[in-house]
Amino acid sequence: MQDHYVLQVRALNVKIKSEQGMLPLVQDIDFAIKPGEVLGLVGESGSGKTITCMSLLQLLDRKTTSVEGSIRLHGREINGLRAEDMRAIRGKEIGFIMQNPMNAFVPVHTIGDQFIETIRTHSALTKKQAMELAVDSMDAVNLPQPYELMRKYPFQMSGGMLQRVMIAISMCLRPSVVIADEPTTALDVTNQLQVLRQLDRLRSECGTSILLISHDLGVISELADEVAVIYKGRIVEKADVFQLFDHPQHEYTKKLLHARPKLV
């Protein structure tokens, strides 16, 4: 019965080692995403959005953090999988766009090498085919002169460009779910819209589910079907996007809505 969810998270608790013992960072996180659905996760800086993503992807340091609870991908429990098994899932079944694009790339390799390496790790494509797929994917996010970009090193590109390369990488293998942590924050308004359109296309053309993370309700409202509001490490409200805007229940949600710059 649970299998019609692409991603289902139950009672997720993340703690970190400290001198005072294990400190909770996020608590009792519950949500589920169906195929082709976009769940927005919104909350202020420090509320636990990135910690939630990193725990789903199992990219937190296992020595200093603990991740309890259930994370099911197509019904299969992935919390606690071996690092090697998670590596096979990340990038292929779960695409991800990280908040800080600089950290997502290795400085000593070109963009092209990193792009092709990711594709070849997860597919049987030849180097030439992988190169073509990389170029097509960069075209799809409107990156100019993709062949030249492939030869560049991360430090030779702006944060916004790197963000779009990361989006191209995350989409090219058509994962069933994409986790996008503030995918538009580093971009100007025109590029923000383009990225949101790309994500929307991925959802409508490939049926990809998206966990869209932002502190910006405007971004969330462009794309999300459902919205979860996170406050101090807990989800305090979850509702259909229209209902959340029209009838916010939690005081914190009301504050977020009031803080939003008026667009119309």
Ligand X SMILES: Nc1ncnc2c1ncn2[C@@H]1O[C@H](COP(=O)(O)OP(=O)(O)OP(=O)(O)O)[C@@H](O)[C@H]1O
Residue nearest to Mg ion (CB): 50
Cβ closest to ligand X, residue 5 vs residue 182: 182
- How, if at all, do strands 226-231 and 38-42 pair? parallel
Interacting span for ligand X (CB under 6 A) from 47-55, 73-81, 189-197, 242-250: 47-55
Q: Which does 25 bind (CB under 5 to 8 A by kind): ligand X, Mg ion, none?
A: ligand X
Applying CB under 6 A, does 57 fall inside the site for ligand X? no
Tally of residues, the chain = 264
What's the CA gap between 77 and 224, in Å, rounded? 25
Applying CB under 6 A, does 163 fall inside the site for ligand X? no
Q: Supply the minimum distance, in Å, between the C-beta of residue 156 and ligand X.
A: 26
- Which residues contact residue 65 at a Cβ distance below 8 angstroms, ignoring those fewer than 6 apart? 14, 15, 16, 17, 25, 55
Q: Which does 167 bind (CB under 5 to 8 A by kind): Mg ion, ligand X, none?
A: none
The β-bridge partners of 73 are 7, 76
Outline where 141-239 has alpha helix (H): 146-150, 159-172, 189-206, 217-223
> Among positive and negative, which fits the CA dihedral 53, 71, 78, 208?
negative
Applying CB under 5 A, does 50 fall inside the site for Mg ion? yes
Interacting span for Mg ion (CB under 5 A) from 15-23, 47-55, 136-144, 163-171: 47-55
Q: Which does 48 bind (CB under 5 to 8 A by kind): ligand X, Mg ion, none?
A: ligand X
Q: Extract the tokens encoding 255.
A: 């504050």
Contacts (CB under 6 A) with ligand X, residues 192-251: 215
Cβ closest to Mg ion, residue 90 vs residue 215: 215
Q: Supply the minimum distance, in Å, between the C-beta of residue 195 and ligand X.
A: 17
**Phi, psi for 19 (deg, rounded to 5):** -65, -25
Binding mask 82-121 for Mg ion (x = CB under 5 A): -----------------x----------------------
Interacting span for Mg ion (CB under 5 A) from 44-52, 74-82, 132-140, 232-240: 44-52
Cβ closest to ligand X, residue 20 vs residue 145: 20
Q: Supply the minimum distance, in Å, between the C-beta of residue 256 and ligand X.
A: 13
Outline where the chain has alpha helix (H): 49-57, 83-89, 101-104, 111-122, 127-140, 146-150, 159-172, 189-206, 217-223, 241-246, 251-259
Query: Euclidean distance between the first and final Cα of the chain, in Å?
Result: 42
Applying CB under 5 A, does 214 fall inside the site for Mg ion? no
8 A C-beta contact, residue 217 and residue 260: yes
Tally Cβ neighbours within 10 Å of residue 246. 10
Applying CB under 6 A, does 99 fall inside the site for ligand X? yes
Cβ closest to ligand X, residue 46 vs residue 218: 46
- How, if at all, do strands 226-231 and 234-240 pair? antiparallel
- Give the residues lining the site for ligand X (CB under 6 A): 16, 25, 43, 45-51, 99, 215
- Give the residues lining the site for Mg ion (CB under 5 A): 49-50, 99
